[in-house]
Structure formats: C-alpha cells, structure tokens
C-alpha cells in the first residue's frame, strides 16, 4: 500500500490536497515519514508537502505547496 501511496503523494498538484483514511492508525506515522522524506529527497519537484492528521477519523491530509 505504501508504494501506491508514495505515487499518490508525488502526483498532488500545487494547491491541492489528498486525504487518506488509514488502518491501522499507526500507519499515519509511516505516511508522515514518507512526506518528510519526499520533501528532503525530491526538491526538484518544486513543491513541499505538509500534513495534518485527524486521529478521531483515522485520516491524514497531505497538501502540496509551491517551494
């Protein structure tokens, strides 16, 4: 699932966001780490990703912002 998620995150256009429902809840940490790594390892994309979590709904929202 996480490889598919990585591609989904890379494909977010600047100004858009992606909300992912996760189960089990601890996958949120894996996705947040992935977002951080993409920011560090792929600066040529011209965008920065930020994330917010909603633990009650088991969701993480990732936004793409222009670098």
Report DSSP letters for 17-55, one per residue.
EEEEE-SSTTHHHHHHHHHHHHHHH-GGGSEEEEEEEET
Question: pLDDT at residue 4 above 70?
Answer: yes
Tens digit of each residue's pLDDT (9 = 90 or more) over 5-14: 899 999 999 9
Reported as a single tens digit per residue, the pLDDT across 19-49 is 999 988 889 999 999 999 999 999 888 999 9
> Is the pLDDT reported for residue 2 higher than 80?
no
| Domain range annotation of the chain | 2-66
């Amino acid at each position: 699932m996480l490889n598919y998620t990585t591609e989904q995150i890379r494909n977010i256009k600047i100004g858009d966001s992606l909300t992912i429902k996760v189960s089990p809840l601890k996958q949120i940490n894996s996705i947040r780490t992935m977002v951080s790594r993409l920011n560090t390892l792929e600066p040529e994309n011209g965008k920065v990703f930020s994330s917010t979590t909603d633990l009650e709904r088991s969701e993480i929202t990732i936004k793409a912002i222009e670098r």
